[in-house]
Structures are given as structure tokens and as C-alpha cells.
């Protein structure tokens, strides 16, 4: 029988640093002949755009979580990959920040094709040292997704320690251990992880999963209940934005909505700017930086996503439309 293909599930709450870690993996060269599947909650893809340019195939599953609404898309995507002619040595799946790992793990155990041809290597959960306490304290739904992501982890990577106070790692580790005493806890040094410690590690253990979720294999109807109050507002703008005006608006918006705004991110076309601008926000933290230059033939379209509760999509879109400059896309 041919060898089973190892699969890494990369999960972690919104904005915790999954794509950042994926980029480190891709840059390391360890991922040669791997297939990477990126799942996004919203209809427009931003993560896939921010994955470093590499030879590995990046497949996208958008507009829902692979743990529920687009779960069959995951099985179909992998089945197609496995029946293709291109040899694949490894599969890595980056979930959305709202994904429950349990139904995804279940697919690999119970689906006939996946269980025959692949084996879970590790569930790797990224934990944001600066926001994890706040997320774990969220009781707005019966199921705390950040806790589930830690509970099912074989490996936990603690991110953003550079932004946290001294001693934060020890506190995070205690929090993680209280939820999952078995997981290996890793911390990047100066923002970089020894990525060899998270792939081809054979860390997945079904026994641990069954201890957390005894119905994992038998309850095929196990439907993960998504927090339907969390919505995604996508903005796609073909006219370039006035940079200072947009960032002033964004700062004010984040200050006013930081509690219910879980995540925002975007790739922007700014007037008079030859480079794409990328910004990230998690609650009230915001970070922006120039990205690669717009390619000559590339349409200069801004793509922005806001994820949160009680967001007013019409107001957000109107506000942003008011910050565009009609002829700006001609100015580079
Ligand atoms: N300072 C600091 N910033 C980090 C670290 N890891 C990630 N970030 C930043 O956090 C923001 C979100 O990182 P991503 O890697 O996009 O997070 P993600 O988990 O893929 O986000 P979603 O898929 O949208 O849930 C970006 O601005 C990153 O640069 C870290 O260790 N330190």
C-alpha cells in the first residue's frame, strides 16, 4: 500500500498569526511538493493574497468555515488533489479563525478516501498571547471556539509575545495547560519559529481527541454550532482610496467598535501609491504596511474584510465609498 500523505491542520482564533506562520513554513523550503488549502470566512480572499509567492499550490475555500458550511468542499478539494497527476508529499490546511477543529478532524477519520490516503500529522493551534484571555472569557455562545482550538491541538504556538509584557509566556502556558495538558507548547524566538517542529512530527493522537469529544467518531450528525451573530462584511472598491482619510476613518472605527469588531484586514489601493497597502486589525490593535507594487496589468482593487458582531454593512460600505477618489486609480 502506498504511504499515507501527512496532513497538518493550522488553526487558531482570528488574527492569531496563522498566515504569518504559514509564510514562515513556505519560506523555509520544508513545504516542497506540498498542497496548501486556505479557508476564509468571507467571500473575498485576503489570506491567499498574503501568502508568499511560492511554487506550492495554494487552493482556496472561501465563504464559510470548512468545519460546517463548506465542509464538503474540503473533502472534494482533497479528493481531487489526491486523484490528480501531481505528486503531493504533504497537505496543510489553514482554517478560518472561527473554525472548530473537531468536525475537520472527524472528516479525516471517517471519510473513506481521506482516511485511506491521508493521515493527520498534527493539529497546530496558534494562540495570540495578547488576546487569548479576552477570547476565552467570551461567553456569548455555548461553545467557546478559542478553547476548542486549544483543546484539540497537538501543538500550540504562542504568538505576539513581542507585544506582551514579561512573564506572559508562562501565564499563557498555564492557561493552555488548563485546557489541554497534552499539547506541546512552542514559542517563536524573535518572531520566528523553528518550523521543522510543526510538520512531519506525527503528533496527532486520536485517543486525545476522543478524550475531549467522545462522540467524535460515532456522532456523524455532530454539527458544530457556529456563532451566527458573528458576521463578515466585505468591501470591494475599484476606485483608489485617499490614504490619510481612510486610515483616520479606520482608526476611529476601530476605537468605536473594538469590542464587537473581532478582526479586520485589507489590501488597499491608495491614491498616488505604487504599492499595495496591507492592514490588519484585531479588536483595537491596528497595523499597516506597504506590500508589493501593483503589477502593470493588475486591477487596482481594494479588498477589505471586517468580522464581528452587530456590524452595519451599509454604513461601512458608504463610509469607505466616501473616501475614494474617482480618478485616483490612474495616479500611480
Ligand atoms: N508583533 C507581532 N505581530 C504578529 C505576530 N504574529 C502575527 N502577527 C501580526 O498579526 C496580524 C494577523 O496575522 P495573520 O498571520 O494574518 O493572522 P491569521 O491568524 O492568519 O488571521 P485570520 O486568518 O484573519 O484569522 C498581522 O498583522 C501579523 O503581522 C507576532 O508574533 N508578533
pLDDT digits (tens, 9 = 90+) for 237-250: 999 999 999 999 99
Largest CA distance in the chain: 61
Q: What value does the mean pLDDT take over residues 278-303?
A: 93
- Among residues 99, 163, 154, which one has the least CA distance to residue 121? 154
Same-domain pairing of 191 and 237: no
Total domain count, the chain:
2
- Inter-axis angle of helices 313-321 and 243-257, nearest 10: 160
The answer to whether residues 239 and 329 touch, using CB atoms and an 8 Å cutoff, is yes
Give 270's pLDDT tier (boundaries 50, 70, 90).
Answer: very high
User: Rounded to the nearest whole angstrom, what is the distance from the C-alpha of residue 217 to the centroid of ligand 1?
Assistant: 33
pLDDT at 152: 95
User: Rounded to the nearest whole angstrom, what is the distance from the C-alpha of residue 52 to the centroid of ligand 1?
Assistant: 14
- Among residues 121, 125, 122, 102, which one has the least CA distance to residue 210? 102
- Give the range of the structural domain holding residue 253, as residue numbers without chain letter: 230-330
pLDDT at 67: 79
User: Rounded to the nearest whole angstrom, what is the distance from the C-alpha of residue 20 to the centroid of ligand 1?
Assistant: 6
CB-facing half-sphere around the CA of 191: CA atoms within 13 A = 5
Ligand 1 atom nearest the C-alpha of 22 is: 15
Same-domain pairing of 171 and 319: no
Same-domain pairing of 236 and 282: yes
Same-domain pairing of 122 and 21: yes
pLDDT at 222: 54
pLDDT at 291: 92
| pLDDT reading at 40 higher than 60 | yes
pTM for the full predicted model? 0.92
Q: What is the ipTM of this complex?
A: 0.99
Q: Give the Å distances, CA to CA, from 298 to 57, 284, 301, 327.
A: 21, 32, 9, 17
pLDDT at 60: 86
Same-domain pairing of 20 and 153: yes
pLDDT at 225: 64
Instruction: Examine residue 93 and state whether it is found in any structural domain, yes or no.
Output: yes
Same-domain pairing of 134 and 249: no
Residue identifier of the C-alpha nearest atom 8 of ligand 1: 17
CA distance 50 to 308: 21
Q: What is the mean pLDDT of the chain?
A: 90
Same-domain pairing of 92 and 175: yes
Q: What value does the mean pLDDT take over residues 240-268?
A: 95
- Among residues 299, 138, 310, which one has the least CA distance to residue 233? 310
| pLDDT reading at 184 higher than 90 | yes
Amino acid at each position: 500500500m502506498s504511504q499515507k500523505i501527512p496532513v497538518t491542520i493550522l488553526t487558531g482564533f482570528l488574527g492569531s498569526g496563522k498566515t504569518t506562520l504559514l509564510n514562515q513554513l513556505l519560506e523555509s523550503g520544508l513545504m516542497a511538493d506540498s498542497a496548501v488549502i486556505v479557508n476564509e470566512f468571507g467571500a473575498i480572499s485576503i489570506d491567499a493574497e498574503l501568502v508568499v509567492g511560492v511554487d506550492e499550490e495554494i487552493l482556496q475555500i472561501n465563504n464559510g468555515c470548512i468545519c460546517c458550511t463548506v465542509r464538503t468542499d474540503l473533502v472534494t478539494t482533497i479528493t481531487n488533489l489526491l486523484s490528480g497527476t501531481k505528486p503531493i508529499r504533504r497537505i496543510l490546511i489553514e482554517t478560518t479563525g472561527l473554525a472548530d477543529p473537531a468536525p475537520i478532524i472527524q472528516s479525516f477519520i471517517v471519510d473513506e478516501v481521506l482516511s485511506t490516503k491521508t493521515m493527520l500529522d498534527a493539529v497546530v493551534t496558534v494562540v495570540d498571547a495578547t488576546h487569548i484571555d479576552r477570547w476565552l472569557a467570551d461567553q456569548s455562545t455555548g461553545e467557546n471556539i478559542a478553547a476548542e482550538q486549544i483543546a484539540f491541538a497537538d501543538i500550540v504556538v504562542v504568538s505576539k509575545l513581542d507585544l506582551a509584557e514579561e512573564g506572559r509566556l508562562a501565564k499563557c502556558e498555564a492557561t493552555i495547560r488548563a485546557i489541554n495538558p497534552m499539547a506541546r507548547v512552542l514559542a517563536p524566538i524573535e518572531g520566528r519559529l523553528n518550523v521543522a517542529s510543526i510538520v512531519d512530527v506525527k503528533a496527532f493522537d486520536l485517543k486525545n481527541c476522543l478524550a475531549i469529544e467522545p462522540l467524535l467518531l460515532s456522532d456523524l450528525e455532530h454539527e458544530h454550532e457556529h456563532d451566527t451573530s458573528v458576521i463578515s462584511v466585505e468591501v470591494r472598491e475599484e476606485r483608489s482610496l485617499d490614504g490619510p482619510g481612510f486610515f483616520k476613518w479606520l482608526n476611529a472605527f476601530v476605537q468605536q467598535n473594538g469590542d464587537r469588531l473581532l478582526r479586520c484586514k485589507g489590501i488597499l489601493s491608495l491614491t498616488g501609491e505604487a504599492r499595495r497597502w496591507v492592514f490588519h486589525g484585531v479588536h483595537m490593535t491596528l497595523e499597516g504596511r506597504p506590500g508589493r507594487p501593483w503589477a502593470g496589468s493588475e486591477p487596482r482593487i481594494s479588498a477589505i474584510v471586517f468580522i464581528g458582531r452587530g456590524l452595519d454593512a451599509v454604513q461601512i460600505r458608504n463610509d469607505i465609498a466616501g473616501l475614494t477618489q474617482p480618478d485616483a486609480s490612474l495616479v500611480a
